[in-house]
Amino acid sequence: MKNIALWVIAITLAGMLISGFILTLRGTESNKAETEVANTGTEVDKTETKAANTGIEVAKTATLVIAASNSLSKSGADYVCDGVDDQEEINAAIDALPSGGKVLLLEGTYSLSSYLRIKKNDITLEGMGPASILKIADGAVSNPLIIGEGTTEYSDITVRDLAFDGNRENATGTGYSILYYKVRRLTIEDCYFHDTRGVGISFASIGADYQSHDVKILNNTFKNIGLADHSKNGNAIRFGNVLGGIISGNNIDGVEGSMSWGAIDIADESKYVSVIGNHIRNTYPAGIQVETDAEYVTITGNTIYVAHRAGIVVTKCAQSFARYITITSNIIEHCDGPGIILQDDSVKHCTIANNIISDNGQNAEGLMSAAGIHLEACEYVSVIGNQVFDTNVASGWTQNPQILVSHAKHIVIADNVCFGGSVSLKFVYDIADIIAENNLLENYQDFPIQFVSGASPLEVTYDDRK
């Protein structure tokens, strides 16, 4: 009996232990389930957080769509223009746009009786290519687009894929397609500017309070800019008061306007500017001009064909200067005046290297010269490794040197090839400290080297291959 009692006790204890183990397991499963529920809640929270973040991203990339009165499809557009005073709808969209957003103009013609204005940060104004046309209305005095206002700085603005029709035969005033004030990180790219009465793209004001930073003008097309009577300023790009900028990949064909400017004009205290790989043809002013306190400008890889005044001009205006200008690897052909001219004693510390300059001096009547390269009164200039071919004996000139040095000081002319023309190297008036060495002078009509009007051979150290 005693043994039976012991067995009963043992079985009872075992049952209690098993029950406890089962309860523990059940508790563990319950806790696991609760944990899973909690984790699921966490996933829900994560999803909600992700959705919230997605909402933020949507806000950052918000797009407002505008249709013209003649757009092929207006469905889905946030604003629909009626073909009259279309700047009102576009400006309303710009004003409604959050920072980081985009205004998208569908294909069609937008008639502007007044200007568009961007006065906010981090915004894109975009079209659908040349078919999205901003056109000045008949009789309107307007700049189609003004960026910024006064001395307030705006930043991160992009304008792309739009056509600007200046309607120069029917509009009035000088007209600027895009006028910008004080902007940091402005990009204007892949736009088409045509029939503008004055300037394609221009800065608005000079002085430190208006200075812009990091301006990029890329891959735009300019055609028929300025008035044929040359009565107004005519520039495709007037780049002034900019600290750090790039003008690259633009195609410019047909610029009228005053001869005192350039199709691309770098001026008014601009510094650290690169003009790279642009194609310029058929301009009445210079192809490219640098002036008025511009410094550290690089002009490289451009082609200039048929510019009346000159291919490239570096000069001053009033009491200003132009310094540290580098002109390299450009092709300049068929200009009426000189291929490259540096003009004035305030033009200093410049390099002209590895350019190809040919068939210039086509019609230099009333111009500064008909030379391939002309250094006029400048100082500390190096002319190295250029190829200058067949400068013409132009109207109004009895001679047209390939390289002309006048009133200049501290000049190095080395490793150039001069072929054709009446004179290869010509020195005029009071020159000083000139080194001319290792130049190849061939097929000249009159002289390889000439000194006239008081220029002293004693001021030139030369050893050229003839």
Residue 136 contacts residue 112 (beta carbons within 8 Å): yes
Q: What is the pLDDT of residue 18?
A: 36
Which pLDDT tens digits describe the chain residue by residue (466 residues)?
444 343 333 434 444 433 443 333 334 444 433 334 334 343 333 333 333 333 333 334 699 999 999 999 999 999 999 999 999 999 999 999 999 999 999 999 999 999 999 999 999 999 999 999 999 999 997 789 999 999 999 999 999 999 999 999 898 877 899 999 999 999 999 999 999 988 999 998 878 889 999 999 999 999 999 887 766 678 999 999 999 999 999 999 999 877 678 999 999 899 999 999 999 999 998 999 999 899 999 999 999 999 988 999 999 876 688 999 999 999 999 988 899 999 999 999 999 999 999 988 776 666 767 889 999 999 999 999 999 997 665 544 556 789 999 999 999 999 999 998 889 999 999 999 999 999 999 988 889 999 998 888 888 887 766 5
Q: In terms of Cα–Cα distance, which of 280, 164, 266 is closest to 215?
A: 266
Asked if CATH classification 2.160.20.10 holds for the domain at 81-465, the reply, yes or no, is yes
Q: What pLDDT sits at residue 51?
A: 32
| The pLDDT of residue 395 | 46
Instruction: Output the 3-class SS for the chain.
Output: CHHHHHHHHHHHHHHHHHHHHHHHHHHHHHHHHHHHHHHHHHHHHHHHHHHHHHHHHHHHCCEEEEECCCCCCCCCCCEECCCCCCHHHHHHHHHHCCCCCEEEECCEEEEECCCEEECCCCEEEECCCCCEEEEECCCCCCCCEEECECCECEEEEEEECCEEECCCCCCCCCCEEEEECCEEEEEEECCEEEEECCEEEEECCCCHHHCEEEEEEECCEEEEECCCCCCCCCEEEEEECEEEEEEECCEEEEECCCCCCEEEEEECCCEEEEEECCEEEEECCEEEEECCCEEEEEEECCEEEEECCCCEEECCCCCCCEEEEEEECCEEECCCCCCEEEECCCEEEEEEECCEEECCCCCCCCCCCCCCEEEECCEEEEEECCEEECCCCCCCCCCCCCEEEECCEEEEEECCEEECCCEEEEEECCCEEEEEEEEEEECCCCEEEEEECCCCHHHEEEEEEC
Residues 6+ apart with CB under 8 A from 84: 111, 113
User: Which pLDDT score, from 0 to 100, does residue 234 have?
Assistant: 81
The two structure tokens encoding residue 97 = 């746009």
Q: Is 417 exposed, middle or buried (0-12, 13-18, 19+ CB in 10 A)?
A: middle
Measured CA to CA in angstroms, residue 323 lies from 124, 154, 354, 376 at distances of 35, 29, 19, 14
Quickly tell me which residue has 């120069």 as its tokens: 168
0.95 cut: is pTM over it?
no
Spatial distance between the Cα atoms of 276 and 299, rounded to a whole number of angstroms: 6
Residues belonging to the chain: 466
Residue 3's pLDDT is: 43
- Residue 78 CB neighbour total at 10 angstroms: 15
| Amino acid 141: pLDDT | 77
Domain-wise residue ranges, the chain: 1-60, 81-465
